[in-house]
Amino acid sequence: MSQALAAKSANALRQTKGWRKISMSPQKVKPDPFGKRVRPAVPEDVVWATFVTARTHTVCFTGVVVPYVCTSGSRVCPN
């Protein structure tokens, strides 16, 4: 789901900027837990997996509210 949200955000940026086409490349991002009051940072030992595709860099880690959470990052450039 986080990879789909990255693509959706990139498309929204394309529309906002008025770009005809975009290219996406993976960019590592810091995991961002949404339960920050409970666990303000993600220790290295709770990272489950890292997935890198042609368009996104995804890090999945143990969640506070749900079993796991994934954060995806991309660099978006106009073509």
State how beta strands 22-26 and 68-78 pair.
antiparallel
Other CB atoms within a 10 A radius of the CB of residue 10 amount to: 19
**Which residues of the chain, if any, have pLDDT below 70?**
31-47, 64
Q: State the Cα–Cα distance between residues 61 and 2, nearest whole angstrom.
A: 13
Q: Closest Cα to residue 53, out of 29, 33, 74?
A: 74
> pLDDT, tens digit, for every residue of 11-21?
999 999 999 99
Give residue 49's pLDDT.
83
Give residue 18's pLDDT.
95
- pTM score, whole prediction: 0.75
Give residue 21's pLDDT.
95
Give residue 45's pLDDT.
56
Give residue 29's pLDDT.
82
Q: If you count them, how many residues does the chain have?
A: 79
Extents of the domains making up the chain: 2-78
